Amino acid sequence: MCRGDDANCPHFEEHYKTFREDLDHERRGFLRSSFAAAGGLAAIGAGGLSLVTPELARASAKRQPTTRSSHYLPANSDTVHWGYFSKTLKPQVEVESGDIITIETLTHHAGDDLERMVQGDEGAESVYLWTKDEKGVDRRGAGPTDPAVYKKGSGEGQGVHILTGPVYVRGAEPGDVLEVRIIDCTPRPCANPEFTGKAYGSNAAANWGFHYNDFLDGNTREVITIYELDLVSGNNWAEAVYNFKWVPQVDPYGVEHKTIDYPGVPVDHSTTTRNYDVLKGVRLPIRPHFGTLGLAPAEADYVDTIPPNYTGGNIDNWRIGKGAVMYYPVSVDGALLSVGDPHASQGDSELCGTAIECSLTGTFQLILHKKEDLAGTPLEQLNYPMLETKDDWLVHGFSFANYLEELGPNAQSDIYSKSSVDLALRDAFHKMRHFLMTTKGLTEDEAISLITIGCDFGITQVVDGNWGVHAIVKKDIFSGMA
């Protein structure tokens, strides 16, 4: 069926309009559903303005096959890669532009409470499998994998997120733009019968947090809080279950982890003290979203998942949830989309280092826009990851727009000591100026005045190596334009 993406359809334009209206309808239904406070702020289409002009939609549709396919990519030890993006990875699935794909994602913090986040869940169990003899997923990070070199574990935890994928988009080439529509985004129910109808997540106030060297007593500590989502009651908030202070953990290979320095270390709760008297009555609004969603960059073979970059990745903007649309510049053949770092909720800044890290399943439609069709459209020259929600456009500024290129051969380590919010604000300003000038044809002076009066700059995160500031502009602002 034509969803406004079948160029052979005689009713293309009508269907394209219907598609966008349907998504909006879907969104409204979603708002009435159990996760009202969720990504629900964001949805496609209302207001009628889009980064994709009808002409570009038609051109992109023309390049698609006449039938749409749906795909399902589960998360298990065969389908995930842990801690890195890589252009060298074998794709898990190949899709055509326009296809729909449902992708399971797993949080990399499930080791904080295996009982609630792994036990009974076949996929998660295969990924988290770790005995003295065997590890479901050995490499975790872009670091060394040679046991003679590493100290923390294979990959060294230089990159921490479990990513599902990559997804190969046929025909995608460097210079193209991949549009990723997030059609759905739901928490993964706990598979342990003891906790039926719930989902769980972990918030680690960790050593990389902005608060870490700034405790009131002058000491440091890492504290993990486990949160519960009630999937049955329809509550749109999460509540804390308990918290505990990290104490050194010895992993199944015998390595001691004095701090949280390697992902997926199974926490032995016989060594911790769990405090159940925590945040009583506090209801944290749910905003399910993908912390990490993006494409493999061309610059290096193995890229730490932590710092976000021009092809997206770990942007950690809570608005990248249901109803949102991301636009990414394609850097390698096939685009190689991976997704993970699922979050039940997060605030702008992600101050303590993590969100409510909670497994989610997403449904995406991937639309390829070829370089040849972009001239004169708002997506021309897009060299940064861009977000469209129902009401807003957002650009994402980073301390370094393309740190892999800008920081040279040691970029992947240097990035951790060079970031500031000031730099990220500077980059967000540059990107919003570029967006307004290319998309709306404004002069530089017009753009600067509009940015000052009409754009809100927020602090996306200050914990991902390459710090982030986003700039939001309301679509309504342009409603009087011809």
Would you say 257 and 265 are in contact if contact means Cβ atoms under 8 Å apart? yes
Binders in 369-428 for a second copy, by CB under 8 A: 420-422, 425-426
Distance CA 272, CA 249 (A): 10
The C-alpha atoms of residue 121 and residue 351 are separated, in whole angstroms, by 30
For a second copy, the closer of residues 142 and 387 by Cβ is 387
Stretch that binds a second copy, among 88-96, 121-129, 327-335, 437-445 (CB under 8 A): 437-445
The verdict on 348 binding a second copy (CB under 8 A) reads yes
Contact stretch for a second copy (CB under 8 A) within 16-24, 325-333, 349-357, 371-379:
349-357
Q: Give ∠ CA 114-224-272 in degrees, rounded to 5.
A: 70
Site for a second copy in 460-479 (CB under 8 A): 462, 469, 474, 476-479
Q: Which is nearer to a second copy, 88 or 273 (CB)?
A: 273
DSSP string, 14-35: HHHHHHHHHHHHHHHHHHHSTT
Only one of the segments 100-108, 168-176, 231-239, 307-315 lies at the binding site for a second copy (rule: CB under 8 A); that segment is 231-239
Rounded to whole angstroms, the Cα distance separating 297 from 301 reads 8
Query: Binding of a second copy at residue 351 (CB under 8 A)?
Result: yes
When binding is defined by CB under 8 A, the residue of 243, 305, 331, 359 that contacts a second copy is: 243
Site size toward a second copy (CB under 8 A) is 70
Shortest distance in whole angstroms from residue 208 CB to a second copy: 12
Choose the binding region for a second copy from 105-113, 145-153, 408-416, 453-461 (rule: CB under 8 A): 453-461
Whether the Cβ atoms of residue 404 and residue 300 lie closer than 8 Å to each other: yes
- Which of 37/407 has CB closer to a second copy? 37
- Whether the CB-CB separation of 175 and 326 falls below 8 Å is answered with no
Instruction: Report the C-alpha gap between 116 and 3 in whole angstroms.
Output: 39
Least distance to a second copy from the beta carbon of 307, Å? 17
- CA–CA dist 48, 476 (Å, integer): 10
170 phi and psi angles, rounded to 5 deg? -60, 135
Give whichever of 256 and 444 is closer to a second copy, judged by the CB atom: 444
| Beta carbon nearer to a second copy, 161 or 369 | 161
Give, as ranges, the residues between 133 and 192 that touch a second copy (CB under 8 A). Answer: none
User: Would you call 85 helix, strand, or coil by DSSP?
Assistant: strand
Query: Rounded distance, CA 36 to CA 27, Å?
Result: 10
472 Cα distance to chain centroid:
18
By the rule CB under 8 A, 353 interacts with a second copy: yes
Task: Pick the binder of a second copy from 223, 255, 298, 407 (CB under 8 A).
Answer: 223
- Dmax (CA) for the chain in angstroms is 70
Q: What angle do CA 391, 185, 370 make, to 5 degrees?
A: 65
Nearer to a second copy, 302 or 435 (CB): 435
Residues 271-330 that bind a second copy (CB under 8 A): 278-285
Yes or no: say if 368 and 176 are a contact pair by the CB < 8 Å rule: yes
349 touches a second copy by CB under 8 A: yes
Can you tell me the distance from the alpha carbon of 129 to that of 115, in angstroms, rounded to the nearest whole number?
A: 13
To the nearest whole angstrom, how small is the minimum distance from the Cβ of residue 320 to a second copy? Answer: 15
**Residue ranges of the alpha helices (H) in 281-410?**
371-374, 403-406
CB closer to a second copy out of 133 and 217: 217
Nearer to a second copy, 187 or 209 (CB): 209
What does the binding site for a second copy look like in residue numbers (CB under 8 A)?
A: 203, 205, 209-211, 214-216, 221, 223, 225, 227, 237-240, 243, 278-285, 345-356, 420-422, 425-426, 429-430, 442, 444-446, 448-459, 462, 469, 474, 476-482
